[in-house]
Each structure stands twice: as C-alpha cells, then as structure tokens.
Amino acid sequence: MVEELRVEPGSQARLADRDPRDTLGLDKARARELRSGLIERLDTLQRRLFAEGTRSLLLVLQGQDASGKDGVIRSVFTGVTPQGCRVISFRAPHEGELAHDYLWRVHAQLPARGELAIFNRSHYEDVVTVRVRRLAPEEVWRRRTGHIREWERMLTDEGTTLVKAFLHVSEEEQRQRLQERIDDPEKRWKFQREDLQARERFDEYLAAYEDAITETSTEWAPWHVVPADRNWLKALVVAQLLVDALERMDPRLPEPEPGIDGLSIP
C-alpha cells in the first residue's frame, strides 16, 4: 500500500502529479479497521523497542499549514504506551538557539536508545521556510540539503531509524480547514493571521518541498508523500509506515533473569 508513496532516491518527488485526495483503493470503514490492527501492533513493537534499549525510531512529519500533523499524532498514538514515546514540536528558533548552528536544537531532541520520537515539523523548516520567507541567502539554505543527507546517514549508522512523511494537502482542502479554524470556537486559537501570508505562498512552499524532498530522499532515510486531504487515510498510512519500520528493525525483548521459570510469588 505505501510503496507507491515512496520517493525513490535519485528521482523527482513529483508533488504536482500526486493526488492529495487519493484513497489508495480503500474506503473509510476499511481504513479504520486496518488502522486499529496497526495501532495494536505498533504498541507491541514500541514496547519491545523500549525494552531492548539499543536502537531508536524517529518519525519526521512535515506538511503545509493545516495538512493535519497534530491530527495524525492523535490518531496514530492514541492507545500507544506513553513510556518511551515523545512528541517534539519545533517552532521558530529563539535567540539562544540562533546562537548555534541550525541543527543544534534538533540534535538535542533526538530519541534516546529505546525511544520513539515524533518531530512535528523538523530540521526541514530550515530549508523550506527559510527559503520561502527569505530568512537566509540562497547559498545558505541551498547547501543545507547536503548537510541533512549526511546528518541523517550518521543517525542511521548510530542506530536511529528515520520515517519521513510529507502530508500532501491540496490548496482547496487547506482553505476549508483554515476556515474551519476561524468558524469553530474550539479551534479558533489555532488560527494566526500569518497563516494567510503562508497560504498566499502555497505554490512557493510546494516548490520548496519538491526540491527538499527530491534532494533528501535517500536509501537510509527515504521520504513518503502521504495523501492528506482525507484524515482517515493519512493516519492509516503513517501507522503502516511506522509498523513496517519496526518490523524491519525487529526489536527483541531482553533475556529474562535466570532461574525464574516456574517461580511462584508468595
């Protein structure tokens, strides 16, 4: 199901050719059924990863405004044991972080051995947002994709598996979701006027993501472009990507203490 969403290393991301409303041949009822089973399996594998304590897993979630990163996290990780699982949301860097290189604050939040971490936005903001908002010269943000490729290679060499998912939302779906934020009192707090400025640059952001994904989808850390207009589908796909990654890792429980077979607790 998810292989067709993979951006093969050395090939173009082709975001314009990928349908954000694609259902991958599924309907909502079937997707929810599949997701339920995947979340159970994810919980088991994540607990084994924590118990093993030698490797880690990092989920990188990127997407335009209103692509649904928060919703995916709620849907996929509801029911997963909180122990050994952590969500990090990266916002604009503060003064202390700007005093260091752009990966400094990101590296400090990487998952420890045995941990599963979720980056809600990530180091890719230092390529995409910096480019679109012209926060640094082109020569600066252009070289960062090379840095990131090798940095991610180092992470995988050191035992961290990366799952990178771009939530691909259409311009019309983004409009509807932003309007919903304004109209719903429970969601209005999420809306900021700068969201409108970003929306005016929708195509610029898409072009920036096209280049960043193309240049950083590697054998050791490939990108998957997830159709994001349908909430039920994107949650299923991200759950599948995580389970597939953990199945490949095949975390093993530590051997129990010798001599406890048949032990009866008084």
Domain ranges for the chain, please list them: 3-249
Domain 3-249 has CATH 3.40.50.300: yes
**Other CB atoms within 10 A of residue 49 CB:** 26
Alpha helices in 59-170 (DSSP H): 69-77, 95-98, 104-107, 128-132, 138-157
**Tokens 């991958």 found at:** 24
Q: Is the pLDDT of residue 142 over 90?
A: yes
Report the pLDDT averaged over residues 79-90: 91
Q: Give Cα separations from 152 to 49, 92, 146 (angstroms).
A: 20, 22, 10
Rounded CA separation 83/120 (Å):
19
Share of the chain above pLDDT 70, in %: 100
What pLDDT is recorded for position 25?
96
> pLDDT category, 222, cuts 50, 70, 90?
very high
Dihedral over Cα of 105, 102, 192, 165: its sign: negative
State how beta strands 223-227 and 6-7 pair: antiparallel
Per-residue pLDDT band at 79 (split at 50, 70, 90): confident
Instruction: Give the residue from 117, 112, 233 showing the smallest Cα distance to 164.
Output: 117
Give the model's confidence band at 262: pLDDT under 50 very low, under 70 low, under 90 confident, else very high: confident
Query: In the predicted model, what is the mean pLDDT of residues 116-135?
Result: 97
Mean pLDDT of 2-27: 97
Joined together, the tokens standing for residue 225 give 């472009």
Q: Which of 257, 254, 244 is nearest to 52 (CA)?
A: 254
pLDDT at 1: 82
Between 52 and 261, the more confident residue is: 52
CA distances from 47 to 57, 117, 218 (A): 12, 13, 28
* CA pair distance 61, 41, nearest whole angstrom: 21
Q: How far apart are CA 213 and CA 248, in angstroms?
A: 23
Q: State the average pLDDT over residues 50-59.
A: 98
**Euclidean distance between CA atoms 179 and 53, whole angstroms:** 44
Predicted confidence (pLDDT) per residue in 145-181, tens digit: 999 999 999 999 999 999 999 999 999 999 999 999 9
CA distance 33 to 27: 10
Q: What is the pTM of this model?
A: 0.96
In the DSSP assignment, the letter for residue 230 is: S
Arithmetic mean of pLDDT, 123-131: 97
The enclosing H or E element of 210 equals helix 202-216
What is the average pLDDT score of the chain? 96
Main-chain dihedrals φ then ψ at residue 243, nearest 5 degrees: -65, -40
